[in-house]
Amino acid sequence: MGVTTVTDVRPTLDGGNVLHTLFRSDQGGHEQVVLCQDRESGLKAVIALHSTALGPALGGTRFYPYASEDDAVQDALNLSRGMSYKNALAGLDHGGGKAVIIGDPAPVAEGGVKSERLLLAYGRFVASLGGRYVTACDVGTYVQDMDVVARANRWTTGRSPENGGAGDSSVLTAFGVFQGMRASAQAAWGEPTLRGRTVGVAGVGKVGHHLVRHLVEDGASVVVTDVRAESVERLLAHHREGVRAVADTDALIRADLDVYAPCALGGALDDATVPVLTAKIVCGAANNQLAHPGVEKDLADRSILYAPDYVVNAGGVIQVADELHGFDFDRAKAKATRIYDTTLAIFDRAKSEGIPPAEAADRLAEQRIAEARGAAL
């Protein structure tokens, strides 16, 4: 079924809204949701803590120009729930949390709203939670941003090496996705390699361009697309062989692919996408790839093997979690390598229980969280 998504937090005729979602609906279950506002800096943010059963909630800060505050809350709820499951299956002693900052993430000088004052204000809100939430980078935030946020609180990871951090977490995110893709190839074709296969990568930004490098080195042919033309141009300039580009995601999913890797925003697998996919494997870095419950069955009905997103993209959170203990890249990479084994275990459970891999992953994650809650009683 995939991690349950919150589908609607808008006010209803009977007065229901986000509070109804949190307290009464099946989509709820979050421990705490904090709405943050600092008028001087223009900060508007949401911090959502889904679970602290395994330890302090850990998850990145997304900076995005949401169409509405409702959309921002909805995204924070979905992402934080996903982080609970991701951290559980990554073997981390952390629960799930996520923050979103509403607005254009470009600097103020370039027409956006991001500023040092705003990031410091956000850091103070993180500090107010007293360690229940540990933040890091996500879409729209970068290492240099976390360096600023960390000046206001000590529960910030993803900082620069110069400031005691691990640096760019996208490095191990991409490495972990590659391990998940190797496991998928083993399950589908009996060999843990992409050599001779064609892989389509949608989104070649922070994570995608690292993933392309792993694929090229493994001997795959790679087809890419991105809404930012400069990202594609930069990638093609670096990889003069083995990589080609197509105009958009629609062209990519219709191309002759063995593997499709969504590496941009969520909802990549929906009722329009799945019927036209040519790939036999879906394995990518994007969060919340399943647009709604039931998509995983549509994939299974078409014999498309889906590697659950929050399993294979856990390399980044493994990296930033390691930073809390004095970062050691080799130690973190060794943990991220285990994503291969975890992915295979999920495929095995899915096969033995006759369920989609997304449901098998959920069951494993929920089992670990439940055991932690039971041990705490």
Catalytic entry in 44, 98, 114, 280: 98
3-state secondary structure the chain: CCCCCCCCCCCCCCCCCHHHHHHCCCCCCCCEEEEEEECCCCEEEEEEEEECCCCCEECCEEEECCCCHHHHHHHHHHHHHHHHHHHHHCCCCCEEEEEEEECCCCEHHHCCCECHHHHHHHHHHHHHCCCCEEECECCCCCHHHHHHHHCCCCCECCCCHHHCCCCCCHHHHHHHHHHHHHHHHHHHHCCCCCCCCEEEEECCCCCHHHHHHHHHHCCCEEEEECCCHHHHHHHHHHCCCCEEECCCHHHHHHCCCCEEEECCCCCCECCCCHHHCCCCEECCCCCCCECCCCHHHHHHHCCCEECCHHHHCCHHHHHHHHHCCCCCHHHHHHHHHCHHHHHHHHHHHHHHHCCCHHHHHHHHHHHHHHHHHHHHC
98 among known catalytic residues: yes
- Active site amino acids: 98
